[in-house]
Structure 1
Amino acid sequence: MKDVQALVFDVFGTVVDWRSGVARALAEFLPARGGAHLDPFAVADAWRRRYQPAMEECRAGRRPFTRLDVLHRENLELVLKDHGVDLASCTEADLDHLNRAWHRLDPWPDVLLGLSRLRRKYFLAPASNGNILLLANMAKRAGIPWDAVLGAEATQAYKPQREAYTRTAEILGLAPHQVCLVAAHNGDLRAARKAGLASAFVARPTEHGPAQGTDLVAEDPWDCVAESFVDLAAKLDC
């Protein structure tokens, strides 16, 4: 980590608790549209399960790069149909507001303090599959102190494509080894390391709920392993 000048962060799951935030929005939306019997957390999980397949269409070249807000909206309509919600009862404004639940996610409790300490020493930016407006709105609402808003729209690539990592370093004018990805997902870190980035793992054992069975521990010898962003700051002498 001695050469690292910038920390870039996976966002969904690592920085913010997407599941609780999306379920909260669904709990407000569903009852008035015949979905009072539905579990908002189960619907949130179903929406999230469509995330990787939708991006894979772009990664595989079967579809041009399409920003995440558009993919989320398409997936939302499919998920609502799957759960018996009558889309004819929903206005465009209703669906747009619900789709922007991803803009209104809350950070984990350790995030703001940890980032404020890390920012004293490092350049901080998201390295997310989210688009710029989504990430900027999220940061403004929650007070997340990014130095820049990057992500898939800037790199025109979805993780774990190599370009998602190397182009992030290029945008910052740094060599890959001068950039460290911070993530709660071992697979994301493996792809970043393969692209030449440094790696830091911070576990989020309830990202997928209380029965989560993946990414509970660091599975590889990452450059840094921490229990929280505050712990990460301490380990990086911030």
Structure 2
Amino acid sequence: MSDVDIKALVFDVFGTVVDWRTSIAQEASILLGKKGFDLDWLKFAELWRAKYQPAMEQVRTGKRGYVRLDILHMENLMEVLEKFSVGGLSSAELENLNKAWHRLQPWPDSVSGLKRLKNKFIIGTMSNGNVALMVNMAKHSDLPWDVILGAEPAQAYKPDPKTYLTGVEWLGLKPDEVLMCAAHNNDLLAAKAQGLKTAFIARPTEYGEYQSLDIKAEHKFDYISTDMNDLAGQLGC
């Protein structure tokens, strides 16, 4: 396998490109701190994120139709606020807090690495985030995507095969011409099963210093990298 066969790179975003945990904790501390709340902000972020997969599973299993991630995030936020006994927020304040996911900060190597990769390849998202979320995040954090792909275009959440294959189809490419890049082993395995090439990008502190999953690549992937710039170097960018 040669990188000359690869025409496009698609990326998981939450955790792979951006540091959701620290970003959400910081946003919540500012927005709720102004209202007089003093919480364990990292725990707040972690609990909100912990509801992410169960909420999407309701869609994957057909218990509810597809709804964009912004809606799931808001539903989950209401549960988390109740758990932390936070109340008295206006509709505008709730909306602003929910849109903290639109303002996530990139890992230090993400923007420089993506810009290097963009010089040689088409680069895009392959995220469960909806299009508006991804576009707003790109504007906020200078993420140089060529295209937004993933759950909303496919009307399906990863690891549903439809999510990956719709992205490939929209690019007008074959699966083996697309490199799926992620910090999560299961995401890469799902993409690999659909014929995409795979690249693991290590993010061993996504969940903090006590992270136990996805510390390293646990399977045979086409590329294994320490960060985005390492991947760019391996691909000759």
Give the alignment's TM-score, normalised by structure 2.
0.97
Shift of 1:29: 2.7
**2:167: which partner in 1?**
168
Alpha carbons 1:129, 1:152 under 8 Å: kept: yes
1:72-87 equivalent positions in 2, closer than 5 A:
72-86=73-87
Alpha carbons 2:125, 2:149 under 8 Å: kept: yes
Q: Where do 5+ consecutive residues of structure 2 fail to align?
A: none
Report the aligned-residue RMSD: 1.0
Alpha-carbon separation, structure 2, partners of 1:115 and 1:170: 22
Alpha-carbon separation, structure 2, partners of 1:21 and 1:77: 19
| Equivalent in 5, 8, 17 of residue 7 of structure 2 | 5
- What amino acid is aligned across from residue 42 of structure 1 in structure 2? K
1:176-191 equivalent positions in 2, closer than 5 A:
176-191=175-190
Shift of 1:151: 1.9
Alpha-carbon separation, structure 1, partners of 2:32 and 2:138: 26
| Equivalent in 25, 29, 32 of residue 31 of structure 2 | 29
Secondary structure at the residue paired with 1:44?
Answer: helix
- What amino acid is aligned across from residue 192 of structure 1 in structure 2? A
Alpha carbons 1:34, 1:85 under 8 Å: kept: no
**1:201: which partner in 2?**
200
The alignment status of 1:61 with 2:62, answered yes or no, reads yes
Alpha-carbon separation, structure 2, partners of 1:97 and 1:22: 12
Alpha-carbon separation, structure 1, partners of 2:76 and 2:215: 27
Give the alignment's TM-score, normalised by structure 1.
0.96
Runs of 4+ with >2 A deviation: 29-35
Alpha-carbon separation, structure 1, partners of 2:32 and 2:120: 44
Shift of 1:189: 0.3
**2:225: which partner in 1?**
226
Shift of 1:34: 5.4
Alpha-carbon separation, structure 2, partners of 1:211 and 1:30: 26
Shift of 1:85: 1.2
Secondary structure at the residue paired with 1:214?
Answer: coil
Identity of aligned residues (%): 50
Alpha carbons 1:17, 1:107 under 8 Å: kept: yes
Q: Where do 5+ consecutive residues of structure 1 fail to align?
A: none
Alpha-carbon separation, structure 2, partners of 1:34 and 1:140: 30
The alignment status of 1:120 with 2:122, answered yes or no, reads no
The alignment status of 1:17 with 2:31, answered yes or no, reads no
Secondary structure at the residue paired with 1:149?
Answer: strand
Shift of 1:31: 3.2
- What amino acid is aligned across from residue 68 of structure 2 in structure 1? R
Secondary structure at the residue paired with 2:120?
Answer: coil
Secondary structure at the residue paired with 1:101?
Answer: helix
> Which shows bigger deviation, 123-132 or 147-156?
147-156
**1:42: which partner in 2?**
43
Shift of 1:82: 1.1
